[in-house]
Structure 1
Amino acid sequence: MEESIKTVADSTETVKSEASAILEKASDVSTKARDAVDGALSRGIEGAKNLLSVFEEKRTEVSSKLVGAVTNAVGGASSSTNRDLPLSTDNQPLLSCERGGETPWWKNCCGVLDLLKTSTSTTK
């Protein structure tokens, strides 16, 4: 019986030492995993910061190009209004629709509505 107790005690010590070794390895793995996650996060954050700075540089560059283009367009438009442009007599419309002071253009519309009004009144 004493031998059985000694065997059980030895087995218990063996299990304790193996469990301690397993816990130590698990703690080491946990530490390595935590370090890996921390490293990945810091690299991700640094990458995001770099990306944002590149976007900011590009935004500034595009903004300055837009301002330059608008300035050139406005400068070109204002300089073209200062010039006297010749009026062309080519490609003039066949019928001139002059807006009279007595009837608005949408009522008269070059006499088309008057023509329709007369044709419908004669058919009645």
Structure 2
Amino acid sequence: MINPNPRRSDEPIWWSLFGAGGTWFAMITPVTILVLGILMPLGVFDMGTFNFLRAHAFASSFIGGLFLIASIALPMWHAMHRVHHGMHDLKFHTGLIGKIACYVIAAIVSVLAIVFIFLL
């Protein structure tokens, strides 16, 4: 028999953050690493383009702040969702406490990212 009053699940919230973090980590992070970690040290870009003042101005701008916050927070939500479900797959059944711990860690890192970006 079908339950006429099903319980609402909170999984769509966590799956959306998981998906957003995975997408960001798969598409944006490699380009950031390529440009800042490989091409810039190889001299493909002029070093004056990425001086401290320009980097600070970008990080202090609204778009730059959102970019940095998303670069930190979204992959953290993705990772902690993976940790939560990975523990279950490895037979560490932590239940609600494990779920809360994982998502609280992701929330704390997200809040810290927001605070530190706004303090720039």
| TM-score (norm. length: structure 1) | 0.25
Give the number of the structure whose alpha-carbon radius of gyration is greater: 1
| TM-score (norm. length: structure 2) | 0.25
